Amino acid sequence: MTTPSNPAPSLAPAPEWAPTRLRPLLRQLGPGLIVSSIIVGSGELIVTPKLGAEVGFTLLWFIILGCLVKVFVQLEFGRYAITRGRTMLQAMDSLPGPRLIVSWLLWLWLGMFICVMPQVAGMVGGTATALRLGGINVPLPALAIAIGGSCAVLLVLGRYRLVETASMVMVGVFTVGTMVAVAVLQTTPYAVTGEQLVSGFAFGLPADVATAFGAFGVIGVGATELIYYPYWCLEKGYGVKVGEDDGTEEWRRRAQGWLRVMKIDAWVCFALYTTTTVAFYLLGAAVLHAKGMLVENQRMIEVLSLMYRETFGEWSLWMFVVGAIAVLYSTIFGATASNARLVVDAAGLFTPFRPRSSEARVRWIKVSCVLLPAIFTAVYLGFGNPVQLVFIGAIAQGLMLPFLAGAAIYFHFTSPHRELRAGPYSLACLLLAVASMIGLGGYQVFSEVSRWLR
């Protein structure tokens, strides 16, 4: 696939950048907001408070850095998709190095993709647990099957827009509620002090970095979302509106204009998920760490709800449960829609299978939208333990990040459009992102090897 399956609209000129054009600009934003509705999920709701509960405020700097550095990789991937019209898997397959049917990086991606299945399965279990806590007296297996089945049905029926809008509204309300909770927290015995905030920027790491590394893999734009983002850039029409490179000045102007839209879109996304991530971390550090509560498998949602209940009162349990269901279900839904596209794309790279038309591709995506929820649900029913399942995917994503960052550097320096490359400041930030991802990945591997050798 080199273009989205949606009917191609007429090519649009480069947007004008005057204040009077703000409303049309906002109508063009999309992929970042879709990704935001996906990534405000297990990382923010489960992994981030778990980290805060374990280490307190000491890794606040780490949370902010983990959200920030990935944006520059995300921008580079979006730039590649818009200017070259290729999907992310196709881009990864173009990297130099050993090949066995496909590029070495695609084999690493396949390993990560397999590990992400348990992560989404953990979210199915988390959603089912939240429904039970909310008073739906149905066995967890039945709830899990209903969650997976409803996700498949809605996607096959083409109800993505409806669920996307509803999810973004509910996730937005929950996000605002979480930020309000941080403010209200200051009127409780768990009020955050200036000393605690200062301790959050001590720039140290705990002896056991497993939870921190898992958090780094999924907070903000995780490895899976970095791969999803170019697909949504194409599906939302940025690539189509730019058109194929015909070497003309008009094409260059269109590309520059839509790249600006993409940048604004990505930074809006960054503002949303960073604010949410920091809010959840502060609540976990202030409430759960102070109470000595750990986020464990069987009582996951109940323990997490303490962040609201200790702040607003016991009545807020319902607000937390509804918000948690919205966040987790929208993540399952968005991840299924994104992974279905990856499955079809990967099938065309790993095997001789190729959809012969855009209609055939859509049909195979729908087939994948049925198979994937079935797999997620089966994994949860077979293994349970939602927190552990989520962390399998989190660790795998963390290990994949350095390779994706390296790919972003390669795409930058091999771009045939010098005038469309990232500027010096963005390039410097991209190099910093690569260094931090490689450094943390190496530190995690070293820590695990040292532990095994002891």
| Mean pLDDT (whole number) for 32-40 | 47
Q: Reduced to 3 states, what is the DSSP secondary structure of residue 136?
A: coil
* Residue 136 in tokens: 């739906």
- The number of C-alpha atoms within 13 Å of 422 and in the hemisphere containing its C-beta is 27
Task: Say if residue 393's pLDDT is above 80.
Answer: yes
Tokens of 97: 């190095």
How close are the terminal C-alpha atoms of the chain, in Å?
49
Predicted TM-score (pTM) of the model is 0.82
- Residue bearing tokens 């307190």: 56
Q: Which residues contact 170 (CB under 8 A, 6 or more apart)?
A: 322, 323, 326, 327, 330
Give, in degrees to the nearest 5, the angle at Cα 232 between 227 and 237: 140
pLDDT in tens, 86-120: 888 999 999 999 999 999 999 999 999 999 899 99
| DSSP conformation letters of 257-317 | HHHHHHHHHHHHHHHHHHHHHHHHHHHIIIIIHHHT----STTHHHHHHHHHHHHH-GGGH
Quote the DSSP letter at residue 335.
H
CA-wise closest residue to 393 among 200, 133, 213: 213
Tokens representing residue 83 in the block: 């200017």
Please tell us whether the domain made up of 19-453 is placed in CATH 3.40.630.10: no
- Is the Cβ–Cβ distance between 120 and 387 less than 8 Å? no
pLDDT value of residue 22: 37
Q: How far apart are CA 223 and CA 347, in angstroms?
A: 20
What's residue 236's pLDDT?
A: 64
